[in-house]
Structure 1
Amino acid sequence: MIELQEGVLPEVNQRHPYAIVAITKHGVQLGRKLQQSFSQGDLYYMGKFEHGDEEQKHIQMFTGTVRLLLPTLFKQYKGLILIISLGAVVRMIAPILKDKKTDPGVVVIDDRGENVISVLSGHLGGANELTYEVAAAMGANPIITTASDVQKTIPVDLFGSRFGWVWDSEDKLTPVSASVVNEEHVAIVQETGERDWWMRDTPMPEQIKVYPSTQAAIEAKPHATLLITDRIIEPEEEVLLENGVIYRPKSVVLGMGCNRSTSIEEIEQVIDETLAELKLSKKSVKALCTIDLKKDEQCFIDITQKYDWEFITYTPDELNEIKFPSPSETVFKFTGAYGVSEPAAMRYAKVETLVLPKKKSGNATISVARRPF
């Protein structure tokens, strides 16, 4: 709990570039929902609205007036998303404004989540682009008041955030952003993930071109690349990353079973080895799914909390509804389901095939499915 006091700058745990702040009951609900759909935000709200899962969800609570929290957030974050009335925000940030070249972008959301308003540093601070992305994540109205608006192109550091996409590395964000802004040839290759990422009411700039494969992009020799994939990149493709960013959509679903009291270390080793064999990125894992008999299995709870994965359990009847490769009478005898890892992964991913059928490894079984988009 962060205790806010006059004259004392609080310490916060920054994990992402943007801070989401709420101070009302409805605002907290909006903030919690936004945190799940906007991958680049750290959530802060008042301790009196505690839900009990804040540590698990990396939510930071505070006591005292939010005015005392904002100076620290202003210094540490690239942008602030404030679920606070516009008038109150203007009064609170006025004393800490310095320069449009250094002030973070500030976005305000109303308490009903209907409008997202760009308030400060619309261009240089990126508030206009942030407004569009947050509004898209919430299904709200983006409100931009700057006369020239923005270039209506792709914000590299926010690309796919509303879908939960994460970067493989941020090393090339700045030079790739420069290529986009300077209207250089930029290649996009998308192998998985949500397809409705272009949200402008105008066509995509002609210098940004979508290619059907990494090989086609390599042959085109772009200045920069945006690569959307859950694959581990092959050595011959790395030329695209000399000035490129990899985005990891949440496309991979793990179905698992295990013996009682299996350690998190063993579970993580099984996951890492399996994903390495399949050449899939751990950053693209969306969920770990199993039977409800394992809902209190500590290794599953711990691994999903560690990586912010969804932890989903199904009843035997729900698993038995799925047609999967390896039904087992033995498994049915002990669990009431004819299988666990295979049908759990397939049910969540809503697919009829698996990337990896059931594999036994030590005290665990694992299956892997891919979400279609």
Structure 2
Amino acid sequence: MIELQEEKVSAIEQKGNYAIVAITKHGVELARKLGSSFQNADVYYMGKFEKGDEAAKGIQMFTGSVRLLLPSLFQAYQGLIIIISLGAVVRMIAPLLKDKKTDPGVVVIDDKGEHVISVLSGHIGGANELTKEVAAALKARPIITTASDVQGTIPVDLFGKRFGWVWDSSEKLTPVSAAVVNEEKIAVVQESGEKEWWHYGPSIPENIKVYDSIDGALKAGLDAALVITHRKLSEEENLILHNGVLYRPKVIVLGIGCNRGTTTEEIEAVIEETLKELQFSKKSVKAVCTIDIKKDESGLLEVASKNNWEFIYFTPAELNSVKMEMPSETVFKYTGAYGVSEPAALLYSGAEKLELVKKKSGNVTISVAIIPY
């Protein structure tokens, strides 16, 4: 807990480049929502709204006036997302302003999450692009008042954040961003994930070309690349990342059944082994799905919570509504469903077929699906 007092402010623990700050009940819900989808963002809110899972999620709580917290955040972060009234934020940051070349981008969100306002360092500090991404994530209205906000291209470090996409490595963010801004030849290769990512202007600039395969992009020639896939790349495909950023969309759905009392360690080991066999990235996992009699299974709950995955469960009737390749009378006898992992993965993903139909390993049965877009 960060204690905020006039004479002393406890040290913050910076992990990301962005700080999300809230001081109200509704603001906390917005902050938690953004924190779960925005890679590289740290969440701060008042301790009186503690929910009990803050330590596991890396959320930092504070007591005292938020005014005393802002100077530390102002110095430490590239951008601040503040869910407090605009007037209050302006008064609190006014004494902290130095220069538009060094001040962080500041974005303000109203308590209902209806408007996202670019307040400070719109261009150089990146607040305008941050505003667009936050607004898209919340389905809110972006408010940008700078007249010259006309470039209309992809912000590489924020690309796909509203969908929960994460990048594998930050190593090439700076050179790829430079290539995009300088209108060099850019390849966007998308194998999976949400398709409606373009919202930066009327149309995609001519220097940015979209490909559905890495091979096609490499043959076309490029200066930089943005690659969106849940797959692990082969050695040859990795050539595209010499000046590229690899994004992981949240598209993998794990259908899991297990014996009562199966440990977290065993479940996680089966998941790791399965993803390695399929050559899929763990960063692209979106959800763990099972049957409702397992909704209190501690091993499953802990795995989902630890990895910040959705935990979904279905009734036997819902599971039985799905056509299965390997229905089981034994499973039906004990659960009322002819299968758990297969239909659970298919139901949640909406896929027509599974990437892995069903694998039994020790106390765990797992099926894998990819959400189609």
Give the TM-score range, shorter chain: over 0.9
Equivalent residue letter for 1:20: I
Deviation at 1:192, TM superposition (A): 0.5
Q: Which residue of 2 is the match for residue 49 of structure 1?
A: 49
On the 8 A contact 2:37/2:165 being kept in 1, the answer is: no
Q: TM-score, normalised by structure 1?
A: 0.96
Deviation at 1:219, TM superposition (A): 1.0
Deviation at 1:315, TM superposition (A): 1.9
Deviation at 1:62, TM superposition (A): 1.4
Runs of 4+ in 1 over 6 A off after TM superposition: none
Separation in structure 2 between the aligned mates of residue 7 and residue 296 of structure 1, nearest angstrom: 46
Q: TM-score, normalised by structure 2?
A: 0.96
Q: How does 1:249-264 map to 2 (within 5 A)?
A: 249-264=249-264
SS in 2 for 1:95: helix
Deviation at 1:353, TM superposition (A): 1.2
Deviation at 1:267, TM superposition (A): 1.5
Structure 2: where are the runs of 5+ without partners?
Answer: none
Separation in structure 1 between the aligned mates of residue 90 and residue 228 of structure 2, nearest angstrom: 38
Deviates more, 1:248-257 or 1:314-323: 314-323
Deviation at 1:343, TM superposition (A): 0.9
Separation in structure 2 between the aligned mates of residue 60 and residue 325 of structure 1, nearest angstrom: 46
Separation in structure 2 between the aligned mates of residue 136 and residue 30 of structure 1, nearest angstrom: 13
Are residues 1:339 and 2:354 paired? no
Q: Which residue of 1 is the match for residue 275 of structure 2?
A: 275
Q: Which residue of 2 is the match for residue 25 of structure 1?
A: 25
Task: Provide Cα deviations, 1:65-101, integer angstroms capped at 9, x if missing partner.
Answer: 1111112222222211111111111111122222222
Deviation at 1:275, TM superposition (A): 0.7
Deviation at 1:111, TM superposition (A): 1.8
Q: Which residue of 2 is the match for residue 302 of structure 1?
A: 302
Equivalent residue letter for 1:155: P
Deviation at 1:136, TM superposition (A): 1.1
Are residues 1:133 and 2:133 paired? yes
Separation in structure 1 between the aligned mates of residue 157 and residue 16 of structure 2, nearest angstrom: 11
Deviation at 1:57, TM superposition (A): 3.7
Deviation at 1:352, TM superposition (A): 2.8
Q: How does 1:101-140 map to 2 (within 5 A)?
A: 101-140=101-140
Q: Which residue of 2 is the match for residue 177 of structure 1?
A: 177
On the 8 A contact 2:119/2:127 being kept in 1, the answer is: yes
Deviation at 1:59, TM superposition (A): 2.7
Separation in structure 2 between the aligned mates of residue 364 and residue 11 of structure 1, nearest angstrom: 43
On the 8 A contact 2:3/2:9 being kept in 1, the answer is: no
On the 8 A contact 2:107/2:130 being kept in 1, the answer is: yes
Task: Provide Cα deviations, 1:43-67, integer angstroms capped at 9, x if missing partner.
Answer: 2211222333433443322111111
Q: How does 1:1-373 map to 2 (within 5 A)?
A: 1-373=1-373
Separation in structure 2 between the aligned mates of residue 16 and residue 105 of structure 1, nearest angstrom: 14
Pair 261,217 (structure 1): closer, same or farther in 2 beyond 3 Å? same
Separation in structure 1 between the aligned mates of residue 346 and residue 288 of structure 2, nearest angstrom: 11
Q: How much identity, in percent, do the aligned residues show?
A: 68
Separation in structure 2 between the aligned mates of residue 195 and residue 259 of structure 1, nearest angstrom: 38
Deviation at 1:361, TM superposition (A): 0.8
Separation in structure 1 between the aligned mates of residue 9 and residue 78 of structure 2, nearest angstrom: 18
Pair 139,194 (structure 1): closer, same or farther in 2 beyond 3 Å? same
On the 8 A contact 1:114/1:140 being kept in 2, the answer is: yes
RMSD: 1.6
